[in-house]
Structure 1
Amino acid sequence: MATLELLNPVAHAGLRLRLTPRFSTHFAQIVASEFLQAMQDHPILFTKHPETGAFYAGALLALEPGDALSDNAGVEPYRPADLVRQGFFLAEGNLAIDPDAPVFTPDGTPLFEANGEPSDALRGVQRATHILHHGLPETDAIIARFLALRLIEPIDIALNFDDGSRLRLDGLYSISLDALHALSDRDALDLFRRGDLQLAYAQTASIQHIRRMAKQRNDRLSAAPA
């Protein structure tokens, strides 16, 4: 269990944060307010917490652990708030850190300016923490409404590559457009008024990125020396 320290501009004046364009995982949890940004770069899917079995939403950043990251015309893709705030936690409403987290390195970006004010990097962490603090319960409620209407279903993702390799992505779920379009006018209107309908369509539209990611992976495999 990590030992947390409340963030302090005096005690942590020399602390530096490693800002890296690479992601630390191939699948990162996101909240509802991130859907419209995340869908520009990543497939958004649902999966279950291994401990609790509860559904949560996430952005698929790569096809499998250790796989090269998806690239969108050289533009840095959207970074989920859960990755921005790595190493930082909320403790009774205050920002705390795990000083042993690998994101803190001697050659990183300072967390504080010389006058003790938060740096741009720390302000980004503060925004990410705020997004998660308010967004997690909101997203849980949205997913509960999707489940109550039986809109979430398993998605079958089986990819074949030119070198003969195959890849299956198991344990993932998506909104069923058939179920969505079969909703009663009352339920559809309720989803629309809550803003859930927009999120449902954003999630289903984002799945198109899997085809692009598979093509990129196939191109890398084809270009690799025999």
Structure 2
Amino acid sequence: MSRIRPLDPAHHGALRFDPGIVASTPRFVQIGLSEIVLAAADMPLCLAKDAHTGRFNLIALLGLVEPQNLFCVDGRFHATYCPRALQLTGFRLHPDGVAGLAIDEEDPALGASGQLLFENGRATPLTATIADALRRLIADLDAARDLIADYAARHLIRPLRLTLRRSDQHEHVIDGLYTIDQDALSGLSDADVVILHRADRLAPATLLSASLTQIERLCQLDAARHQQDRFHATF
């Protein structure tokens, strides 16, 4: 359970931040527009609806059946790219905190290892860097929502029914995910294709679809983690 508190030297003077330490439980993490090309090299990228707004969020899938981050080994993230939201889960923007920050005191990245947030009772430059990174991340997440909203308006999104099956025919279905409808994308008019291309919104759709091949990597990681037969995925 998280414990959010405005950042201040009285309570957090000895606290350090280690961005290499990540939570082991999230099965997915939200990513921003600029992260698509980076994250697609490691993990499948999908869409999921926000439970409160009904809008689509762009997510990177980190696990399969269990609430487990399969890229997390011994508390650290092992992949070419680590999504920024996963690195910054311990921080929030808060007007009452030093550098405009609050922290989740239960986050594993905040503790005795890493870089100091305070030195001699004063905030280190790291705190301002983190606050700036959070603001840029929020803007990037909003840009991703705008992109996906454009796809939705053009009817380019379809449900993604991910079925996992072991050799013993044990089956598990993951619902609630969405992806790009390639047939709808191919059926766009020439005018719409040009509009999307000039807005740099055509390539991301292709990358999102191509990234689904990384589901195979998750199946391999899952089998190695649990030492059992590998899932075979269809979607």
TM-score range with shorter-chain normalisation?
0.7 to 0.9
What secondary structure does 2:148 align onto?
helix
Describe how 1:1-226 pairs up with structure 2 within 5 A: 3-5=4-6, 7=7, 12-18=12-18, 19-20=20-21, 23-67=24-68, 69-70=70-71, 76-92=79-95, 94-98=99-103, 100-103=105-108, 105-112=110-117, 114=119, 116-119=123-126, 125-126=130-131, 128-218=133-223, 220-222=227-229
Gap runs ≥5 in structure 1? none
Tell me how far 1:33 sits from its aligned partner: 0.8
What TM-score, normalized to structure 2?
0.79
Note the C-alpha offset of 1:36: 0.5
1:101 Cα deviation after fit: 3.0
Deviates further, 177-186 or 62-71: 62-71
Whole-angstrom distance in 2 between the partners of 1:186 and 1:140: 23
Structure 2 unaligned residues grouped into runs of 5+: 231-235
Deviations 1:60-85 (A, max 9, x none): 011133446159xx953422111111
SS of equivalent residue, structure 1 residue 142 = helix
Paired residues, number? 218
The Cα of 1:104 is off from its aligned counterpart by: 5.7
Please state whether the residue corresponding to 1:203 is helix, strand or coil: helix
Secondary structure of 2:215's counterpart equals helix
- Encode CA deviations 1:20-68: one digit per residue, 9 max, x unaligned: 2554411111111110000000100001112222211100011133446
Letter paired with 1:175: I
Task: For residues 103-156 of structure 1, give each alpha carbon's deviation from its aligned partner in whole angstroms, at most 9, with x where no partner exists.
Answer: 36542223337575334xx57744641332211221221111101110010012
1:216 to partner: Cα distance: 4.0
**One-letter amino acid of the counterpart of residue 106, structure 2:** A
The verdict on how the C-alpha distance between 1:22 and 1:124 changes in structure 2, with shifts beyond 3 A counting, is: farther
Which structure is higher in strand share?
A: 2
Amino acid in the other structure paired with 1:41: D
**Over aligned residues, Cα RMSD in angstroms?**
3.0
TM-score scaled by structure 1? Answer: 0.82
The amino acid that maps onto 2:84 is A
Relative to 1, partners in 2 of residues 1:216 and 1:170: Cα closer, same or farther, differing over 3 Å? same
Does structure 2 retain, via aligned residues, the 8 Å contact 1:46–1:173? yes
2:47 partner letter: F
